[in-house]
């Protein structure tokens, strides 16, 4: 069984791609909706939350985990890999590889949460694979609350205004490729594409799902493609917004977890 977690809804962009690539595998999704956002918190708190999220997924019997959160992937991946005896895939590696394949001028933008940008994880990973690439990184803390509150239409005027401000350094640097380093951001793909026409957008959650799909068998004898959803806060709110992220209604039951117990 595959475990996927995020601070909230963003990881559903990775779940969507995972379920598309591996329709026969069972998936457990945990969204820490009671404690989102992670990206404004200290590395210590992010590690503490990520370890609790992992412990919960382990009680569900997962044998591989996709940390579908840019913030966790860039600040807590070593801690969770060291603490659990199962493979954990983050969202940095696949996105960086895809960006380097896509860029023609070697100028790559990264947008993500404050914690992710402060960690330097995307910029370091790019520098390791391609030292000559020029990276422009911008923290975009207001995008997560906009997404979690449904300000996601391509022409939403509030989101457009915020994006215009955040994306100006990316435009000014002439980036031809932009990594959406927070898994909430692909839901704003239309709005971001309007602000940066012609720039290739890299969906970090979807790229991580491709890495995951390459590592696991597409079927298991006891799995039938079931998806179970767990959250740490209000369940009805989750199902409504989650259906937008998934592009289809959430028909299975969503269960609330007391995550502080783990």
Measured in residues, the chain has a length of 262
Q: How far is the CB of 165 from ligand DGL (least distance, A)?
A: 18
Within 10 Å of residue 26's Cβ, how many Cβ atoms?
18
Tell me if residue 140 is catalytic: no
Q: How far is the CB of 112 from ligand DGL (least distance, A)?
A: 6
State the Cα–Cα distance between residues 154 and 107, nearest whole angstrom.
25
State the Cα–Cα distance between residues 74 and 92, nearest whole angstrom.
7
Among 39, 90, 109, 186, binds ligand DGL (CB under 6 A): 39
Token look-up 């457009």 returns 160
Among 69, 126, 201, 208, binds ligand DGL (CB under 6 A): 69
Among 103, 183, 203, 232, binds ligand DGL (CB under 6 A): 183
Among 144, 163, 199, 242, binds ligand DGL (CB under 6 A): 144
φ/ψ of residue 172, rounded to 5: -65, -30
Indicate whether 12 belongs to the interface with ligand DGL (CB under 6 A).
no
Tell me if residue 182 is catalytic: yes
Nearer to ligand DGL by Cβ, of 25 and 184: the residue is 184
3-state secondary structure 108-176: EEEEECHHHHHHCHHHHHHHHHCCCCEEEEEECCCHHHHHHCCCCCCCCHHHHHHHHHHHHHHHHCCCC
43-62 residues in contact with ligand DGL (CB under 6 A) are none
Nearer to ligand DGL by Cβ, of 72 and 227: the residue is 72
State the Cα–Cα distance between residues 241 and 204, nearest whole angstrom.
20
Angle at 25 (CA atoms; ends 23, 26), nearest 5 degrees: 120
Within 10 Å of residue 169's Cβ, how many Cβ atoms?
14
Residue 51 buriedness (CB in 10 A; 0-12 / 13-18 / 19+): middle
Q: How far is the CB of 30 from ligand DGL (least distance, A)?
A: 13
Indicate whether 109 belongs to the interface with ligand DGL (CB under 6 A).
no
DSSP line for 226-254? -EEEEESS-HHHHHHHHHHHHTS---S-E
Nearer to ligand DGL by Cβ, of 24 and 124: the residue is 124
Indicate whether 36 belongs to the interface with ligand DGL (CB under 6 A).
yes
> Which region, judged by CB under 6 A, interacts with ligand DGL, from 52-60, 67-75, 103-111, 240-248?
67-75
Count, residues near ligand DGL per rule CB under 6 A: 17
> Which region, judged by CB under 6 A, interacts with ligand DGL, from 68-76, 154-162, 187-195, 221-229?
68-76
Among 16, 25, 107, 184, binds ligand DGL (CB under 6 A): 184
Q: Give me the active site residues, please.
A: 69, 182
> Using CB under 6 A as the criterion, which residues of the chain lie in contact with ligand DGL when the complex forms?
6-8, 10, 36-39, 69-71, 113, 116, 144, 182-184
């Amino acid at each position: 069984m595959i475990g996927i977690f995020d601070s909230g809804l963003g990881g559903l962009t990775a779940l969507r791609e995972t379920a598309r690539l591996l329709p026969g595998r069972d998936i457990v999704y945990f969204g820490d909706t009671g404690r989102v956002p992670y990206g404004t918190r200290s590395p210590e708190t992010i590690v503490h939350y990520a370890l609790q999220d992992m412990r919960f997924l382990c009680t569900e019997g997962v044998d591989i985990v996709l940390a579908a959160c840019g913030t966790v992937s860039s600040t807590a991946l070593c801690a969770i890999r060291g603490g659990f005896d199962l493979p954990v895939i983050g969202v940095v590696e696949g996105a960086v590889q895809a960006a380097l394949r896509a860029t023609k001028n070697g100028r790559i933008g990264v947008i993500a949460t404050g914690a992710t940008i402060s960690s330097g994880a995307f910029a370091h990973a790019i520098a390791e694979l391609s030292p000559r690439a020029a990276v422009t990184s911008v923290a975009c803390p207001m995008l997560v609350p906009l997404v979690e509150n449904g300000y996601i239409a391509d022409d939403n005027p509030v989101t457009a205004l915020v994006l215009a401000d955040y994306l100006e350094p990316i435009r000014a640097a002439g980036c031809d490729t932009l990594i959406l380093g927070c898994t909430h951001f692909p839901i704003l793909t239309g709005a971001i594409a309007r602000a940066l026409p012609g720039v290739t957008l890299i969906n970090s959650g979807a790229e991580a799902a491709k890495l995951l799909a390459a590592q696991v068998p597409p079927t298991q004898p006891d799995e039938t493609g079931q998806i179970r959803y767990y959250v740490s806060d209000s369940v009805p709110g989750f199902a409504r917004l989650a259906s937008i992220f998934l592009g289809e209604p959430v028909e299975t039951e969503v269960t609330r977890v007391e995550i502080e117990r783990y």
